[in-house]
Homo-oligomer: A and B are copies of this chain.
């Protein structure tokens, strides 16, 4: 039996019972056959490359779990309900046949609680590991796009961006310490174990905002939405370009998590730069018409959804950070020196 056939047999053994009945023909034939209701399919794909999107020393279960989270975040930003996925794994033979199975188990750990089914996939050999997930879902309402923001709308953000980029830097520091033979979890002076866990978790195991995304779509609360995958500045700029408006982020309202503030101080950096250009946060950035803004804040508070108003939409273009000194263009943060630095560090 070929390695891929052996993998399929082992994979079937770890697949959940298939209570959804959605996957009529699953892994092991030339293609999968998936039953679904009438209506449009929402589809996204994300590829994660070893040494670029994840560190070589990261465990495959965690990488599979994160790749799934990244895809779930894309569907959340459309307000779609996730249903099934395809998984492709390329990896060096030296990693062994357990590698793709661990990746699949990691992806399933995020998929199962949402009743999202693994329908099929592909294995290949490669000099570095590459993990690709395509995820599919359905719409209960009109999709949330990037193009519906209008002047006067309020800008909202979920969670606490910037922590993932800080967590990646922390992981690299810890990795260097470990390679020098230090204790497995050395402490940064001034950064509590709790803060460390907080930042590392934000990078390693981001929480996709699935409930928030579908809630916004079903209640028609958002005029535009995007998931913050490449930094708040760049992704705000994307909504601005798609909608033909200007997004004004009010510095005093952009949330800075205490753990991020502490670590930024220790590193001699400004936390806002991590927030604007760090990436990998997978929070939702969305706009809300002015009439709905207070309603949304109240409803979110009641349901425990962690969102806050961080700015407003104006006529114009681009995305700016506004403070008492004026406006700073942040929509191209991906091209300034800090983003280049961050990009280098991600390599």
A residues in contact (CB < 8 Å) with B? 1-2, 5, 24-25, 28-38, 40-49, 51-53, 74-75, 77-78, 80, 86, 88, 90, 119-122, 124-128, 130, 132, 134, 136, 139, 143, 145-147, 225-227, 230, 234, 238, 241-242, 332, 334-335, 347
Contact = CB atoms under 8 A, between A and B. Distances in A.
Tallying the copies of this chain within the complex gives 2
Closest 9 CB pairs of A and B: A38-B38, A31-B44, A30-B77, A49-B126, A134-B134, A47-B88, A30-B74, A45-B86, A31-B78
A24 B142 CA distance: 11
A24 B40 contact: yes
A130 B2 contact: no
Given A2-B230, A28-B146, 15 more contacts: A2-B335, A29-B147, A29-B242, A30-B77, A30-B146, A30-B226, A31-B44, A33-B139, A33-B143, A44-B120, A46-B122, A49-B125, A49-B126, A88-B132, A134-B134
Contacts of A146: 28-30
A299 B309 CA distance: 67
Given A30-B78, A88-B132, A120 B35 contact: no
Contact of A41 (B33, B132, B234, B334): B33
A136 B242 CA distance: 28
Nearest to A137: B31
A88 to B, nearest CB: 5
Contacts of A120: 43-45
23 contacts: A2-B334, A5-B238, A5-B241, A29-B145, A29-B242, A30-B74, A30-B225, A30-B226, A31-B44, A31-B74, A32-B44, A33-B43, A34-B41, A34-B42, A45-B132, A46-B88, A47-B122, A49-B90, A49-B126, A52-B125, A53-B124, A126-B130, A132-B132
A52 B124 contact: yes
